Each structure stands twice: as structure tokens, then as C-alpha cells.
Chains A and B, each alone.
Chain A
């Protein structure tokens, strides 16, 4: 009896360590999932006109946090353009950037965004728990965050997670 308890603890301990070795320990689930988009009042990157929560689409869409100083953002940029091409709306949050740099960057790499919210001092980013640009949020019809990705998106994320969730949310509405 005592032996078997001991052996169980021993094996469990090594199983935990072994499993930990091959698991990605970096992923953190956002507590914002299931929450509304925080209230904001910030300028549009292009026009400078004021944007508020009312400016956001009434259908499922993506919010992508980006910056011209962010190297990872370039990696996912083509994927974003592909998503836009299949009629999924993407709203950009230009995070802690200067207007000139940001517009120049969009000029070079193209603009997949409906519009970009200009979050110069990162206040909206802080409200949305942004810590590693680029970040992508999936928003459903009711304006609720249903999923979040940290770091550059890859094809797999888009195919298996983003598109299905958007479609799902769309069909729920209809």
C-alpha cells in the first residue's frame, strides 16, 4: 500500500515534468474573452476624426493590434489581406506609433483594415490587455470578444480557428 502510493507520487512527478517539457507554457488565456469591447474615444489613423464603439461593425469581425515598429506584424500582414479578401472585416488598432510611420508602413505593405484606431499612448491597448504586438481579437455580432491570439497569425490559426469562429458567429445571428 505504502509502496504503491510512493510509486504513484514518483511517477506523477516525472510525468508532470516530462509533459511540461513538450507543452507550450507561454500561452495565457485572456480574461477578456466573453467581455464587451472596452469603451474608447480615439482618432482615426487616416482622417483624424473621432472613433467610438459606435463606429465598430455590426457583424462578426477581427481586431488586429499592430505597429510600424513591430517586425512580427509584417509576417502576418499577407494573411490579413487574404482574410479581408474573403469579406471578413478587420479593424486595426495602431498601437504606440507615430502617425507618419504608421501611414508610411501601410503605404508599403498595403492596408487590409476597414480603418485603424490611432492609439498613440497605448491606452486602449492597456484596456484590452495587449502585451505582445501583434494581437488579434475575434468579435462576435454582439460586440463580445470570443477569442484572442498573441503573436503573428499563421495559416493554421486562420483556417482552423478564425474563419470557423467567424462563420459560427454569423450563422448564430441568422
Chain B
């Protein structure tokens, strides 16, 4: 019954939003305003989709196995909270979540867009509405989560054990908030194109939306990486899997976008370029959906594939992109824009940032699509993985992160005598080299990759500290922070990320061996003893649990419990790693296979500084949020001054 209501509500939502198209010719003959209709329609959409979503969630909780989606993604023995999260664990439900988030963004955009001119606002929301129609139609016609089973099974097949996990409860909503948030930015940019204008206030208005989408994307990607690290059982945090690439590409372009928006806003330049970035950012997020859901590429994470779904998204993408480009090329030259600047200027450095980020995106796109092209041409099949990206992607990113440490210095010195900056950069470079070299001496052997990691880290951190200190010194007040605290935090996060990633990839220790209870092994100054092995039963699985006592320099450090689980309804074996997290290192133990009686293959990893990867990502997201908040406050304080 509830499922019927849910289905009805989603149809109603599709009907409601489709009114936008149908009513246009009708309304033009009456006195009613089309913009008012758009506004009310876009506000109504969110409660409709939300109720439908809640209906699906309730159906999960009450084990309504008459729905095919529920019977293949849930089981009566599944714990309550996983029943809720199973709502978005499969293709159909996650598409409903996608539509829910799209209508949420549309709702927010209609509520907070009062400051925009009515006709601009109308067009802007109309474009969002049209996107909404596309995704809802996709949901209803190809991926209906409310589809019924022909015969009702007694119990469900169970949720994929990999997805029975806290990380997976929050990872998709965060990621989708980011992906779909870009639709706001996209619709906005396209409206600018249609209206043939991109005013400064508009750039100001769109910036928080771009920043918050970016923050959500950052958190979403970091959560995915964290989940893969502890759940998949081989201790990696990034695999260059097509699905990861699908989320990384929009992230890179959005990073470029939030930088170019600054130039738009401050200098009234780069407007066309920014619009183009906004179009590409959202197009890449649709492309990501296509890559993940069409089964076109071989990936660990892909959903069950169905060419019909792939075809739908592909056509949708072609339409969206085709129309956007048409409008862009027709109108962009009419937008008052400027693209001339000195080779050494703020604009120039920001453009360098953009070029490098766009190139990085192109690299990943090429690496993802190229094997497919070879395949179609009947040439030798290849795999593109980590070695390729290490060789091509990293050299492109290195100048970019160095730029992040340099630009604040340039901005501080640009109105002063040039020799001052000259002197500072030289001093700073020497200090950075010295510190990097010392750090390497203290942490292990000399290794060039690690050296570069340290150089990048110290270069960014020291320069930012200097920048903050000098700014403070100049005014003896912290007011400047309201402008730059977000930037500072995000870039420190970037530095930490680079440091963590380089150190863990170069200095990690990975041992794989056969052990039985009682055996010990020493890794660095840690002594791991396989002290016990026991069997027990969880709510929906059986488990063999090992116990590893870890001594550090002879003192007890921690006890780790890696598990090997067998999920009962799906008969899927799962590895649960035993992890001892720490800021300076993670200890990571997994049980592999049983070799002979009581002998197990065991993997023991020592991962230095791996937490910095996710800490860095959190700081980046926090930085983005802070720049939204601080910008607001600054604006209102200006308002107060003017009123006085």
C-alpha cells in the first residue's frame, strides 16, 4: 500500500514538473505570470519527491518484498539502520535519492534567489526544472524502484555485505549533494548565457553554491576513499577505478571553477571561461553517472548494467551538452567580458591554476575512455591504472600545488618593491629545502618522491604562515582573516593531503605471510602476535575472528581483531580488517585464506600518516564552508556601516 503511494507520488512529481513545459503556451494567453508558476512548481517538487522517498524507506523497514528492488536489496534479518540505508544502496533507489537531492537543491535555489531579477530567476529555475524532468523520467521509465515482483518471495536476497557499513550510509548522499549541487551552478551559468550578461552581483550570488557543492563533493570522495580503505581489506585508499575517476573529474573542474569565480567577481574577467567551466562541471557529473550505471567500463563498484539505462543517460547528456554549447556559442560573444592581463598578475596565476586543473581532468578522461577506443578499433586491449597516472597526472599536479604556496606570497608583495619578494622567495625556498631534508633524515632513507612531498608541504605551509603573520602585523588586527581564513584552511588541507599521500605511498610496509596461532612477526618497532582465533555469529553472518596482540618496543600497544565473515543469505565471504588508527600511523591486519589446519594467510600493514589524507580533505571542505560563512558576514557588516 505504502509502495503504491510512493509510486503515485513520484508520478505526481513528474507530472508537476512537466507542467513547466505544458503550461507555457497556455499561460501566455492569460494574465497569470509564468515566473510565478515556475516558482511554485519548483518549491512543490521537493515535498513530493521527499514523501515518495520516505514511502520507499518505510517499505524497506516493513520488509515489503513485493517490490523487486527491496527483495533484491534487503532481507528480514538485516539490521534496522541498514534497511534504511538500503533505500539508496542499489541503482533504482540511488536514482531516487539523486532526484530527491536535485529537487532539494531546486527548492533551496528558489527560496534563496529573491535577490535575482524576476526574469533571470524564472529562466534559472526553469532550467533546473527541465533537468529535473530528465532525471525523473529516467527514474520512472528505466529504473523504477517501486516495480513489483511477479511472485512475492518469502525473504529478500539481502543487501550486498560490502554495503552493510556506516561509511556507505553517508557516502552516496554526500557525493550526490555535490554532483547535483553542480546543477545549480550549471543552470545559473546557462541563464547568464541566455541573458547575455554576467554581473558582478551574480558572480557573488553563485559562489556559495559552487563552494558548497565542492565541499560536498570533497567530503563524498573522501568518505568513499575511507570506506574502500577499511572495508575492502587491502588497505588502499585510491585505485584510479573508473568510478572514482567519475567523481574526481567533476571535482577537479569545480576546483577550477571556484577559483575562476574569484576573478569573475573581483575583476569582472574570465566570464565566458567560467560559464564554460560550469557547463563542463555538470556535464562531467552526468558523464560520471553514465560511466557508473551503464556498465560500459569494468569497475569494482559498478551497478548491474543495462544498456537501455546507459542509452537514456547518454542521450540526455547529449541533449544537455548540445543545447548548452549551442547557447554558449551563440551568446557568449555578447557578454561583456575581458580576457586581457599581464603575464605576471593575479589573473594569470589563477588562469594557470585553471589550465592545470582542466589538463588534469582531460588526463583522467583520456585514461578512462582510451581503452574503450582501442577496443572499438579492435586494437590490443590495455589497462590504464596507477603507473600511468603516477607518470602523467602527478607531474601536472605538482606545479599546481606549488602555485598554491606561491600565489598568496605574490599577492602580499605585489604592491611593494620587487626585490623584497625576490628576497623572501629565496629565503623561503632555502628554509623549505632545509626542513624537507631534515624531515627525510629523521624518517628514513632519502627518496626523491618523499622529498618532493615534503617540499610541497613545507612550501605551502610556511608561505601561508608567513602570509598570515605579515597581514596581521600590518594591521595588528585579525580582520583580514574574514577574507582569507577559508582559503588558508583549504590550502593547509591540501598540503596535509599531499604529505599524507606521498609518505604513505612511499614508506608503507606491507607483509603477507602464513601464520598460525602463536606466531609472531616484527614490523618496524611493532611486534604482532597471532594470539587467538575464535568463531562467533553476528546478526546475519558467521565469522572467524583472529586476535593479534601488538607490542610496541615491548609494551602493549593495542589488540586487533581482523575477521573473515560469511554472510548467510548471500553466501558472500567478506574480509573485515583489524585497524588501529593513529595520526602518525595505522596498523592494519587482515585474515586472508585458510591454508591448512589453523594456518592462515595474513597481511599486516604499517601505514604512516595515512590519516592526513582524509584530515586534509576535511580541512578543504571546512575551508570552503568557512569562505561561504565569512563572505556573508563581511557583506552584512558592510551593510551595517552603510546604514550608519
Whether the complex brings A and B within 8 Å at their CB atoms is answered: yes
- Chain A contacts to B: CB under 8 angstroms: 3, 6, 10, 14, 16-23, 25-29
Residues of the B chain whose Cβ atoms lie less than 8 Å from the Cβ of A14:
314, 317-318
Decide: A17 near B290, CB < 8 A? Known: A3-B329, A23-B375, A25-B297: yes
Q: Which residue of A lies closest to B298 (CB)?
A: A25
- Chain B contacts to A: CB under 8 angstroms: 290, 294, 296-298, 307, 310-311, 314, 317-318, 321-322, 325, 329, 369, 372-373, 375-376, 380-381
Q: Complex formed: what's the CA distance from A10 to B317 in Å?
A: 11
Residues of the B chain whose Cβ atoms lie less than 8 Å from the Cβ of A22:
307
10 interchain pairs (CB within 8 A)?
A17-B296, A17-B314, A19-B376, A20-B296, A20-B372, A21-B296, A21-B310, A23-B375, A25-B375, A27-B381
Distance (Å) between the CB of B453 and the closest chain A CB? Answer: 36
Residues of the A chain whose Cβ atoms lie less than 8 Å from the Cβ of B373:
16
**Number of A-B pairs whose CB atoms are under 8 Å?**
44
Q: Complex formed: what's the CA distance from A28 to B374 in Å?
A: 12
A29 lies within 8 A of B380 (CB) = yes
Residues of the A chain whose Cβ atoms lie less than 8 Å from the Cβ of B310:
21
Distance (Å) between the CB of B378 and the closest chain A CB? Answer: 9
Q: Which residue of B lies closest to A28 (CB)?
A: B381
Distance (Å) between the CB of B438 and the closest chain A CB? Answer: 48
Distance (Å) between the CB of B376 and the closest chain A CB? Answer: 5
Residues of the B chain whose Cβ atoms lie less than 8 Å from the Cβ of A3:
329
Residues of the B chain whose Cβ atoms lie less than 8 Å from the Cβ of A26:
298
Q: Complex formed: what's the CA distance from A28 to B382 in Å?
A: 9
Q: Give me the 6 closest cross-chain CB pairs, A-B, nearest first.
A: A21-B310, A20-B372, A20-B296, A14-B318, A28-B381, A19-B376
Decide: A29 near B381, CB < 8 A? Known: A17-B290, A23-B376: yes
Residues of the A chain whose Cβ atoms lie less than 8 Å from the Cβ of B318:
14
Q: Complex formed: what's the CA distance from A171 to B290 in Å?
A: 49
B314 lies within 8 A of A18 (CB) = yes
Q: Which residue of B lies closest to A11 (CB)?
A: B318
Residues of the B chain whose Cβ atoms lie less than 8 Å from the Cβ of A17:
290, 296, 314, 369, 372
Residues of the A chain whose Cβ atoms lie less than 8 Å from the Cβ of B376:
16, 19-20, 23
Distance (Å) between the CB of A152 and the closest chain B CB? Answer: 20
Distance (Å) between the CB of A67 and the closest chain B CB? Answer: 18
Q: Complex formed: what's the CA distance from A10 to B310 in Å?
A: 18
Q: Complex formed: what's the CA distance from A158 to B380 in Å?
A: 25
Distance (Å) between the CB of B289 and the closest chain A CB? Answer: 12
A10 lies within 8 A of B296 (CB) = no
B290 lies within 8 A of A10 (CB) = no
Most buried by A among B296, B298, B317, B373: B296
